[in-house]
Amino acid sequence: MSSIKVTVWNEFQHEKNNERVKAIYPEGIHATIASFLNAEEGITAQTAVLDEPEHGLTEAVLQETDVLIWWGHVAHEDVADEIVERVRQRVLEGMGLIVLHSGHASKIFRALMGTNTGSLKWRDDGEKERVWVIESAHPIAAGLGEYFEIPKEEMYGERFEIPAPDELVFISWFEGGEVFRSGCCYKRGLGKVFYFRPGHETFPVYHQAEVQRVIMNGVRWAVKGEGAKATYGRVAPLEPVR
Amino acid sequence: MSSIKVTVWNEFQHEKNNERVKAIYPEGIHATIASFLNAEEGITAQTAVLDEPEHGLTEAVLQETDVLIWWGHVAHEDVADEIVERVRQRVLEGMGLIVLHSGHASKIFRALMGTNTGSLKWRDDGEKERVWVIESAHPIAAGLGEYFEIPKEEMYGERFEIPAPDELVFISWFEGGEVFRSGCCYKRGLGKVFYFRPGHETFPVYHQAEVQRVIMNGVRWAVKGEGAKATYGRVAPLEPVR
Amino acid sequence: MSSIKVTVWNEFQHEKNNERVKAIYPEGIHATIASFLNAEEGITAQTAVLDEPEHGLTEAVLQETDVLIWWGHVAHEDVADEIVERVRQRVLEGMGLIVLHSGHASKIFRALMGTNTGSLKWRDDGEKERVWVIESAHPIAAGLGEYFEIPKEEMYGERFEIPAPDELVFISWFEGGEVFRSGCCYKRGLGKVFYFRPGHETFPVYHQAEVQRVIMNGVRWAVKGEGAKATYGRVAPLEPVR
Amino acid sequence: MSSIKVTVWNEFQHEKNNERVKAIYPEGIHATIASFLNAEEGITAQTAVLDEPEHGLTEAVLQETDVLIWWGHVAHEDVADEIVERVRQRVLEGMGLIVLHSGHASKIFRALMGTNTGSLKWRDDGEKERVWVIESAHPIAAGLGEYFEIPKEEMYGERFEIPAPDELVFISWFEGGEVFRSGCCYKRGLGKVFYFRPGHETFPVYHQAEVQRVIMNGVRWAVKGEGAKATYGRVAPLEPVR
């Protein structure tokens, strides 16, 4: 089996403007994620960022991408609608999509879900998060224990305005008293979508082994397999019509 | 309990331009649907059409609407994006939405589902459709037998590019050899969405008792109940954070 | 509409043997639940307990029951298999079933779910539980805030070995660090099943207003409506077979 | 990756008693299925039948089985309850299970689903079945076209009393006018269950390439992956409880 081609997209703004974030991700969150993915056998990751032409998401790049990872936060509205629609069509054709953390409010996640996925509770006080595995046999949970902890994280709390996930893999407990559906799987068209909650830019979340493991698992899960053929439009009858 | 307020929306084009359709629905499909709904106790139906200002779907109209019924076909692209977004937000706030037949390709259904819901197979040869009840206890199936037949209908065939429905109430058998998920229930935000397949404009489908019964059932099902309060945004912790 | 007929079943053991429980529920948990239900307009509740002939669940009683509520803990294995099967068949015919707290390990819940629903984590230290509403528009959440707290409760923690619920209404946060899917809706046959977590016998949980509200909501939700007819077995073809 | 170990279980009655069936499956349905599976790279299939001690499903056999395939019809009630429970526990621990055709009424499928899965419509007139792919990207549909036809089959018609499948992969159209959910995926415990409709003993269904392909796909899909650890029972708090 040939290598899985991943494109890690990042708006790449905080890392240039905020010293605290720069200290954690000197080359950007995308570089950190691409780096641990490239260390994995059978995965080849490249990156793309907002400031590139077409945000680095040309037709050619997307056609060569098996799984796209999305991180955005302050610049959601700067992503061109045309590019969002291009990405959406590629997902419906079978490209996997992993939406991370504040990407919940991105145009692409909103477009694929149909709801106001920006609606949730939040608090960036750096509290403890404990991510519980709900579906122990799910491939996205492979290699984890029953839970893992993130020592300091931004809290996201329910209600989160998403369609009920096809599969709910993780639920988070927060020190401050909230819960959150932190690992949500969807099928849309021929593509798979995985929303994974952790990853605030001011904490070193993507340097943590369990978080890396989940993203690697998510990549493998999101790749489209062979499937069946589907066609659409006007068709002749297969049986005699009286 | 006060009356359920329904707005029946129709693009209202075929009935003005096509003699065959005019003969079946002289005042428009919307008028026929509103008429049988108004004959029902506890339902008050009004209508709105594409050519009215704001397509008849002003903020005031939508605020007063418990359930919106949508029929469109040739003029999907003439519906203003702003109005589509307004309707979408009302659904997410709790307004019920019933999408009929060729409304599968409408902007509002595509926006709420996130997929290319226009993608399916079709053939308008006027063949027999048999609509089978899959979830016998579902309120949308109330009063039906195990199936009902539509003597002449347009065929829609799978694959239909929708997210897997939260509840699949009907599956259709077609004389020409296809099957279709004909009654699909979704929850989106605080609102309920019901897609119901039958209703080609050249056949008297909305004059048929079983079809009327399903639409009436759908209206009652789609009304939002009391529910719980939900708020979003930054919140203080409920428990001490170290 | 006539009154909803509820039967509240309780094994009724702790309340006779344990002074602490007796002090909270002097006439039994079943009596407390039946009492607040009977105070509700449109609901008529009776009780049944393990020590009655046929555990109080005769064919006649079940035929007259719209919704059965189940509380059991130490005596699950004392419930006769024949009665469990009788209850299961009535649920499949349309009787609603609400399974409370330690009823998760009852024979009837195991039989209807097919999994080892006794498998979960627990700790009866009397810690704080915060029950979060996940589906704000669900009728079972009617009248609640975004969450409610139970000051002292037994903890149940994931993983809980249940089939993924058709609708997940509540997720609980526990002081000791766990989460739990606390409100789970299922359809089985023509019947509806609602699992609701709170209710340890050593704490006055069923005297709390929010818990009572959820149970009342659950009763209204679980009642079977009209539905469609379903028949089974050998049938003649509806179309000519060559 | 090591070979997937499959056990093909068959009641093996018709093939001994009915000349017509014997002509199609001289060594039994199980032998035919094991044979095409063994021709597949990475799959090793053995067989087991009702008349063997413990029906050939000893603890040792089940511990060494990744995926169990089940065909039964006239002898469901001859399968010992103890063996059914043993199989059920292995499924909950992660063994895959593929239930074929009349296995819908088997004790093991009824036990895992919780409903009267024997309830459906049927007619063994040897009519045409057209199996439509609903989820084109699903691995169980890999390599298929949009549909495949079985020239002569027993009809199964809705309503089929199953819990709504986690994933609905196939819907069948029948010449005589019925429809059926023919490919249904479930997760139960750590195991996966796939119900696949085709396979009446008097027609050469398991000699057909598309049917073989689906069963091979089902085997690959049903194998448990690595997953996460899960434990149950009394636990100490992870956070201080006041």
Query: The domain that contains B39 carries what CATH number?
Result: 3.40.50.880
C29: containing domain? 4-114+183-231
A78-129 per-position pLDDT tens digit: 999 999 999 999 999 999 999 999 999 999 999 999 999 999 999 999 999 9
Alpha-carbon gap, residue B31 to B26, rounded angstroms: 9
Q: What is the ipTM of this complex?
A: 0.96
- Contact with chain C for residue B136, Cβ under 8 A: yes
- For CA atoms A45, A50, A51, A54, the dihedral sign is positive
Question: Which two three-digit tokens encode residue A191?
Answer: 């593509």
- Contact with chain D for residue C152, Cβ under 8 A: no
- Chain C residue with CA closest to A175: the answer is C177
**Inter-residue contact A170 to A211 (CB < 8 Å):** no
A238 part of a folded domain: no
Residue C38: closest CA among C193, C194, C212:
C212
- Chain B residue with CA closest to D120: the answer is B134
Question: Which two three-digit tokens encode residue B17?
Answer: 């331009």
Contacts of D164 in chain B (CB under 8 A): 135, 167-168
The phi-psi region of residue B114 (left if phi > 0; otherwise alpha if psi is between -120 and 50; otherwise beta) is: left
Alpha-carbon gap, residue D103 to D70, rounded angstroms: 6
Nearest-neighbour CA in chain C from A161: distance (Å): 9
pLDDT number for residue D2: 84
Alpha-carbon gap, residue B151 to B174, rounded angstroms: 10
Mean pLDDT, to the nearest integer, of D180-201? 98
Helix and strand numbers (H, E) in chain D are: 7, 10
Give the alpha-carbon dihedral of A29, A31, A34, A36, to 10 degrees: -80
Percent of chain A with pLDDT over 70: 100
B210 part of a folded domain: yes
Helices D29-38 and D209-222 cross at an angle (nearest 10°) of 70
Alpha-carbon gap, residue A152 to A127, rounded angstroms: 5
pLDDT number for residue D242: 81
Alpha-carbon gap, residue B137 to D103, rounded angstroms: 25
C236 part of a folded domain: no
A16 part of a folded domain: yes
Asked if pLDDT for residue D29 goes beyond 80, the answer is yes
Query: For chain D, how are helix, strand and coil distributed in percent, rounded to 5?
Result: 30, 30, 40
**Inter-residue contact C179 to C158 (CB < 8 Å):** yes
C119 part of a folded domain: no
Contacts of B187 in chain C (CB under 8 A): 135, 137
B241 part of a folded domain: no
**Inter-residue contact B176 to B123 (CB < 8 Å):** yes
Contacts of C241 in chain D (CB under 8 A): 125, 127-128, 175-176
Q: Which chains touch B (3 or more CB pairs under 8 A)?
A: A, C, D
**Inter-residue contact C162 to D186 (CB < 8 Å):** no
Among D159, D173, D174, whose Cβ lies nearest the Cβ of B146?
D159
**Which residues in chain C land under pLDDT 50?**
none
pLDDT number for residue A148: 98
Among C145, C225, C228, whose Cβ lies nearest the Cβ of B228?
C145
| Contacts with C19 (C-beta within 8 Å, 6 or more apart), sequence order | none
Coil, helix or strand at residue C100: strand
A126-174 per-position pLDDT tens digit: 999 999 999 999 999 999 999 999 999 999 999 999 999 999 999 999 9
Nearest-neighbour CA in chain A from D142: distance (Å): 4
Q: Which chains touch A (3 or more CB pairs under 8 A)?
A: B, C, D
Compute CA B219 distance to the chain's CA centroid, rounded to the nearest angstrom: 9
Residue C1: closest CA among C203, C225, C236:
C225
Question: Which two three-digit tokens encode residue A140?
Answer: 């996205």
Compute CA D206 distance to the chain's CA centroid, rounded to the nearest angstrom: 13
C28-54 per-position pLDDT tens digit: 999 999 999 999 999 999 999 999 999
C130 part of a folded domain: no
**Inter-residue contact B81 to B118 (CB < 8 Å):** no
pTM (global) more than 0.95:
yes
Alpha-carbon gap, residue A40 to A96, rounded angstroms: 18
pLDDT number for residue D229: 87
The tally of domains found in chain C comes to 1
Residues 66-95 of C with CB under 8 A from B: 94
Alpha-carbon gap, residue D80 to D57, rounded angstroms: 11
Alpha-carbon gap, residue A202 to B230, rounded angstroms: 28
B64 part of a folded domain: yes
- Chain B residue with CA closest to C223: the answer is B137
